[in-house]
């Protein structure tokens, strides 16, 4: 049986067996519904706290919910049999606390009785997915943005940057903007998330965005309850916020400037190798026009070496940006488990959870 690969994001969990040229077998929401005492699931908005988020801004924060989610994924989704569990590889977000890594390996060996474990950082895995071992990963996720220089398969943690905003903050911002332009329409956040995925896009450049103030096509969208909402300039404002975070009220530089500033903290000998092998990933980066805008901003960059995006190989699945870390994990699993570089049950029994820091890096 192939090793299982699990990439638990803040919005979506990607899981499947280690077959790198295929999409993950499971792509499901990470958010879970709380069950009532009678075993039913409630959709009643008047019931407090009906949803549970096991992963928040990239990190696991509710381990009981995570255990339930993994139980469903591994036994129901992937077909593991109790008593015949296999090997598993997890993706790690940038700067995962040591305690989280130890708790995960403990959960997998003591509760799920796995035969082998490995974990690797998402930044490294996203590069593996496009056939690189050095470069810079810009991961624009649901709950965070990570910018990480990777040299010979190792993240430069000193230079790396993590920002505590991502797709969910853009969704909340879109909700505010839509409420201003559609004051009589009642919106819930899940509907706004769907609207964002359907309509949000990036203007060609800052001037093109400014011109949307005077002239912008208006889309109409019908909500499930029959209400009709108009979507105009808001769809561009969401994409623009990645390049002008001041729109969100944040005192921060745009995504390309942040990339260049991150690389400036690395030895100048590596600048070209890193900037010319830039990988953009994460669900938010799949927004219409984002890649073109990123390239345009890169061409205007003050850096002597302009960031250049790496194109994924043609044989890789479509929409690779959404699950590149999972694909990289599937590639790595084909190496670490056959070569016995992983944490075995014997390793865990002898050393305990801290073994993860010695064998997974």
Whether 172 and 153 map to the same domain: the answer is no
Domain count, the chain: 3
**Domain that includes residue 281, residue range:** 129-165+253-300
Whether 23 and 99 map to the same domain: the answer is yes
Please indicate, yes or no, if residue 305 is contained in any of the structural domains: no
Answer yes or no: pTM beyond 0.85.
Answer: yes
Per-residue pLDDT for the chain (361 aa), expressed as one digit of tens each?
899 999 999 999 999 999 988 899 999 999 988 776 655 655 554 444 578 999 999 999 999 999 999 999 999 999 999 999 999 999 999 999 999 999 999 999 999 999 999 999 999 999 999 999 999 999 999 999 999 999 999 999 999 999 989 999 999 999 999 999 998 888 899 999 999 999 999 999 999 999 998 888 899 999 998 999 999 999 999 999 999 999 999 888 999 999 999 999 999 999 999 999 999 999 899 999 999 999 999 998 888 889 999 988 888 878 888 999 999 999 999 999 999 999 999 999 999 999 999 998 7
Please answer whether residues 67 and 55 qualify as being in contact, where contact means their C-beta atoms are separated by less than 8 angstroms: no
Please indicate, yes or no, if residue 311 is contained in any of the structural domains: no
CATH number at residue 89: 3.30.420.40
CATH number at residue 235: 3.90.640.10
The first and second tokens of residue 77, run together, are 């989704």
Please indicate, yes or no, if residue 307 is contained in any of the structural domains: no
Whether 180 and 260 map to the same domain: the answer is no
Whether 182 and 72 map to the same domain: the answer is no
Whether 291 and 193 map to the same domain: the answer is no
Q: How far is CA 163 from CA 1, 8, 147, 259, in A?
A: 38, 18, 9, 12
- The residue with tokens 């590889």 is 89
Please answer whether residues 303 and 161 qualify as being in contact, where contact means their C-beta atoms are separated by less than 8 angstroms: no
Whether 198 and 113 map to the same domain: the answer is no
Domain C-terminal end among 223, 247, 271 = 247
Q: How many CA atoms lie within 13 A of 219 on its CB side?
A: 15
Whether 141 and 280 map to the same domain: the answer is yes
Strand 32-33 to 51-52 pairing: antiparallel
| pLDDT tens per residue, range 257-273 | 999 999 999 999 999 99
Q: Residue 317's Cα: distance from chain center in Å?
A: 17
| pLDDT tens per residue, range 216-231 | 889 999 999 899 999 9
Whether 266 and 140 map to the same domain: the answer is yes
Whether 353 and 226 map to the same domain: the answer is no
CA angle (319 as vertex; 337, 254 as ends), nearest 5: 105
Whether 147 and 235 map to the same domain: the answer is no
Q: How far is CA 113 from CA 13, 110, 116, 294, 337, in A?
A: 21, 6, 9, 44, 17
Whether 27 and 57 map to the same domain: the answer is yes
Whether 21 and 95 map to the same domain: the answer is yes
């Amino acid at each position: 049986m192939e090793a299982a690969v699990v990439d638990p994001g803040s919005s979506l969990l990607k899981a499947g067996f280690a077959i790198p040229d295929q999409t993950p077998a499971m792509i499901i929401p990470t958010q879970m519904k709380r069950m009532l005492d009678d075993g039913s699931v409630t959709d009643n908005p008047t019931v407090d706290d009906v949803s549970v988020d096991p992963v928040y801004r990239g990190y696991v924060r509710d381990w009981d919910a995570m255990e339930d989610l993994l139980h469903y994924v591994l036994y129901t989704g992937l077909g593991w049999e109790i008593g015949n569990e296999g090997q598993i590889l997890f993706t790690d977000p940038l700067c995962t606390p040591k305690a989280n890594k130890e708790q995960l390996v403990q959960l997998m060996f003591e509760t799920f009785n796995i035969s082998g474990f490995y974990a690797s950082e998402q930044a490294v895995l996203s590069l593996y997915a496009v056939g690189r071992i050095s470069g810079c990963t810009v991961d624009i996720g649901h709950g965070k943005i990570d910018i990480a220089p990777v040299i010979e398969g190792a993240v430069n943690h000193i230079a790396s940057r993590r920002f505590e905003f991502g797709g969910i903050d853009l969704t909340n911002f879109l909700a505010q903007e839509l409420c201003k332009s559609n004051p009589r329409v009642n919106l819930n956040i899940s509907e706004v998330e769907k609207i964002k995925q359907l309509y949000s896009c990036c203007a060609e450049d800052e001037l093109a965005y400014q011109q949307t103030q005077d002239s912008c096509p208006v889309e109409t969208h019908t909500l499930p309850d029959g209400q009709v909402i108009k979507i105009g300039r808001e769809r561009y404002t969401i994409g623009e916020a990645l390049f002008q975070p001041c729109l969100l009220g944040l005192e921060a530089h745009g995504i390309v400037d942040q990339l260049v500033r991150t690389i400036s903290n690395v030895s100048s000998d590596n600048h070209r190798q890193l900037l010319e092998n830039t990988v953009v990933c994460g669900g938010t980066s799949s927004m219409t026009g984002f890649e073109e805008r990123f390239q345009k901003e890169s061409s205007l960059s003050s850096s002597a070496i302009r960031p250049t995006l790496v194109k994924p190989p043609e044989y890789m699945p479509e929409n690779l940006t959404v699950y590149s870390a999972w694909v990289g994990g599937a590639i790595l699993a084909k190496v670490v488990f056959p070569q016995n570089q992983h944490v075995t049950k014997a390793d865990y029994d002898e050393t305990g959870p801290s073994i993860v820091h010695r064998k997974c890096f």
